[in-house]
Amino acid sequence: MITRRRFFFGTAALAGASALTQRIASGTKLLAGQTSPDAKVNYRPVVTPNGSTLPWVMKNGAKEFHLVAEPVRREFAPGMTVNCWGYNGQSPGPTIEAVEGDHVRILVTNRLAEPTSVHWHGIITPNGMDGVGGVTQKHIPSGETYAYDFTLRQHGAQMYHPHSDEMIQMAMGMQGFFIIHPRNGYPEPVDRHFLIFLQEWAIDPGTFTPNPNVMTDFNIFTFNSRVWPGTDPLVVKLGERVRVSFANLSMDSHPIHFHGHRWWVVGTDGGSIPKSAWIPETTMNVPAGTTRTVEFVADNPGDWPFHCHKNHHAMNAMSHVIPNVIGTNQKGVAQQIGTLVPGYMAMGEAGMHEMSAMAEMMPGPRNTLPMMTGTGQFGPIQMGGMFTILKVREGITSYEDPGWYQNPAGTVASPVST
């Protein structure tokens, strides 16, 4: 159990230029040479797995950010690349990270073929900065840049997304986190703060472009626009305190579950929940249009699944209209179809286990991942979609993927004679 907490003091948030990577003990309030307006604000810079944080520059007393709305090609996992729309070459767009009280100026350049706007979801702004095309501002025409300028009067895990042809643009992948750290610090400082944007897509097998017209029958479910096995693991050191913020602008709620620990529900898009009202959970339901933030102490070493618990949401290219053959004797059927389709195999009567193995071996439609995939040290993992692995390790010196957990001898479920 690690008792001494370490955290960064502020950040310039410039990509590759971590001006404040010096680690100092909790309680110290000043850092020599620090010039950022965040100098006295202690927070852990966020980590967006498979994503990045948006750089900013100080200009006339404001943190100036620049978002570029544009079409992007996003690899969801090796073998599947999707024609999305996003920001700065990414979907979700890069994370905006700032501190309560900051004056921010956000330039938005529109490189889409249609107008757009950016709404600061959950953020209290002057009315004309709310980003709603037609209501609070003109839509931003293609090729033009608009400036949003406001002071952050709250904290919390917030979002940004278009409010112009909103349904299409969000379904194509336009969204991002806007994290506002509290000026007076968190009730409990953390060692790691991960951000996971939840999204769902309708991408027919063999195609490359999401269909925004689908209302319920989505077949691809993503963490930060990646699917298992393309999702980065969440690597933490044993004993670290971890915060995870989830955001959801999809058409469904996503109950995110993790193994081996329990977490406390510590925040919503309304800000921090008072510590006296924290509740323990192992599953955090994230309704559409909200963010949720949880914290836990990673005190149990191992490889722990971390996934949406709507079971179809942890699959890839899930078809919802295939017939159910569980418990059906298909022997005769297989012989008869075999005369028409040489090599035909009937599968599924005992479940889908054997199909997952075949899916790995047989070529499917182009740009389409197997429904159940991934292989671990004990065999096929048979998952997809909104799934990753929390890797809690003792003695690691970096957050690189440490590989599979080496379970102590005698601690793995194994066969016995009965």
To the nearest whole angstrom, how small is the minimum distance from the Cβ of residue 265 to Cu ion?
18
As a whole number of Å, the CA-based R_g of the chain is 23
To the nearest whole angstrom, how small is the minimum distance from the Cβ of residue 314 to Cu ion?
8
Buried-state track 29-63, b at ≥16 Cβ within 10 A, e below 16: eebeebebbbeebbbbbbbbbbbebbbbeeeeebb
Whole-angstrom distance, CA of residue 174 vs CA of residue 114: 13
To the nearest whole angstrom, how small is the minimum distance from the Cβ of residue 310 to Cu ion?
4
Residue closer to Cu ion by CB (options 80, 196) is 196
Binding mask 64-103 for Cu ion (x = CB under 5 A): ----------------------------------------
Say if CB 108 and CB 162 are below 8 A apart.
Answer: no
Phi-psi group of 401: left, alpha or beta (phi > 0 → left; psi -120 to 50 → alpha; rest → beta): beta
- Taking CB under 5 A as the criterion, the residue among 226, 307, 310, 393 binding Cu ion is 310
Q: What are the tokens at 208?
A: 């490359």
Residue closer to Cu ion by CB (options 140, 308) is 308
To the nearest whole angstrom, how small is the minimum distance from the Cβ of residue 178 to Cu ion?
22
Which residue shows structure tokens 């925040």? Answer: 267
Residue closer to Cu ion by CB (options 119, 313) is 313
- Taking CB under 5 A as the criterion, the residue among 254, 292, 307, 391 binding Cu ion is 254
- Taking CB under 5 A as the criterion, the residue among 181, 193, 292, 313 binding Cu ion is 313
Q: Does 163 bind Cu ion (CB under 5 A)?
A: no
Residue closer to Cu ion by CB (options 226, 310) is 310
Please work out the total of residues on this chain that contact Cu ion, with binding judged by CB under 5 A. 4
Which residue shows structure tokens 């005698």? Answer: 410
Q: What are the tokens at 5?
A: 């907490």
**Element housing 170 (H / E):** helix 166-171
To the nearest whole angstrom, how small is the minimum distance from the Cβ of residue 372 to Cu ion?
16
Residue closer to Cu ion by CB (options 41, 198) is 198
To the nearest whole angstrom, how small is the minimum distance from the Cβ of residue 99 to Cu ion?
31
Residue closer to Cu ion by CB (options 57, 288) is 288
Say if CB 203 and CB 211 are below 8 A apart.
Answer: yes
To the nearest whole angstrom, how small is the minimum distance from the Cβ of residue 90 to Cu ion?
21
Say if CB 269 and CB 122 are below 8 A apart.
Answer: yes
Query: DSSP letters of 69-95?
Result: EEEEEEEEETTEEEEEEEETTBSSPPB
- Taking CB under 5 A as the criterion, the residue among 84, 249, 308, 318 binding Cu ion is 308
Whole-angstrom distance, CA of residue 188 vs CA of residue 171: 36
Q: Does 292 bind Cu ion (CB under 5 A)?
A: no
Please give the residue ranges that form the binding site for Cu ion (CB under 5 A): 254, 308, 310, 313
